[in-house]
Each structure stands twice: as C-alpha cells, then as structure tokens.
Amino acid sequence: MAVDPQKIKKAVRHLRAADPVMREVIRRVGPCHIRLERDRFRMLVRSILSQQISTSAARAIRLRFEALMHPEQPTPQNVARLTVDELRGVGVSSQKATYLLDLAGRASQGTIRLRDIGRLSDEKAIAELTEVKGIGRWTAQMFLMFSLGRLDVFPHDDLGVRSAIRNLYGLDELPDKSRSHEIAAPWRPYASVASWYCWRSMDLEPETV
C-alpha cells in the first residue's frame, strides 16, 4: 500500500516551487514512493525491536520473534500472552520485552486505540503513542508517516534528516531544532515528503562539473 500518488504529485509540485534546494534534490532523486505498513501493531513492534541495534541484528531478532509466534500472528492478544523469558529466548532484551508487553497489553485492552488512531490529530496521536513504554516522539512520528500516511510530519530530531539539511543547505554543523524548523517552514504542509527526500539525498553520489 502506498500514499495516494495524486497527493504525492501535489506535494512535489509544492516543494519544487517553494524551495530551490529541494527542487534540485527532487530532480536528482526522482519520484517519491512512500510505502505504508497497514498493520499498525506490527509496525510498532518492529520499531521497538529495531531500536539502537543494526539493521541486520534487528532483522534476525524479528525473524526469531515471528518464528516464536508461528503459526499465530503477532496480534496484541497473542503477544500479551508471552513472557519476558520467552522474548529473551529469541534475543529480545529484557527492557524491550517489557516495552513489547506494555504495547500489547495497552493495545489489547484498548487504552491505545490503534484502530481509531488515524482519526486523531498528529499531536494527539503522538501523545497517545508515547504513553507506551519504549515509544518516543521519533517512533511516533515514523508511525504517522509510514503507517497513517500523514504528509506534514517533520522529524527534526532524526539524524539522517539533520545531516541532509546540513549538507544540502551548506551549514557548518548539524542544525538545532530552531534552525531545522526555519529551513523546513517552506516545506509545509508536506514536510513528510521533504523529509523522505532528505533521507534519499544521503544516497546520492556527488555530481561532477
């Protein structure tokens, strides 16, 4: 599932007109493709599992976790039945195990309303998500962008976005929150799409004259 292509086209038109730096990034990167994870609980589980470890390590743990659940799906109710020791047995740290069980418990009891969270504003959704242990503002913002498909999320604390802004806008150092928001102001109301282009810009090879 992807964000509506017509919405993406409108966002790209806005960014190209509003910011000459972003216009050049768009030229070099090409079309924007934002894929959405439809299973909201699964996305949050993966976000917790991948915190502060390498991509390869996160994938290995995720596969062992899914094998532990098999043939059941990792629904809130099924995960809530697991123990910390069972989760530790597949490589999940004790701390992350408590995070997963807190998430599963809240989701299964309805204190975090994943089915209805798309009806909330960005800030209200973030406030609800960050009540869960182990889910901070950045993880909540990624959920808004890549599960709910919100187009105006600006993760100013994201190292990749900050590094891209430094490189693209010729800054001497990583921008602080105030400077980041100042640069991102023309991107509104499509900061999610601009952030996606910031991430993709980090993969570009330097152009030769």
Q: CB count, 10 Å around CB of 184?
A: 20
Q: What are the distances in angstroms from CA 159 to CA 58, 72, 155, 162, 176?
A: 19, 36, 9, 5, 11
Give the chain's radius of gyration (CA, Å): 19
Residue 66: both structure tokens together: 């899914």
Sequence-ordered list of residues with C-beta below 8 angstroms from that of 76, at least 6 positions apart, any chain? 41, 103, 104, 105, 107, 108, 114
Provide the residue type at 164 as one letter: A
- CB atoms under 10 Å from CB of 88, counted, come to 13
> Catalytic annotation on 158?
yes
Q: Per the residue annotation, which of 158, 172, 176, 203 is the catalytic one?
A: 158
What tokens does 167 get?
A: 């490189």
Catalytic residues: 158
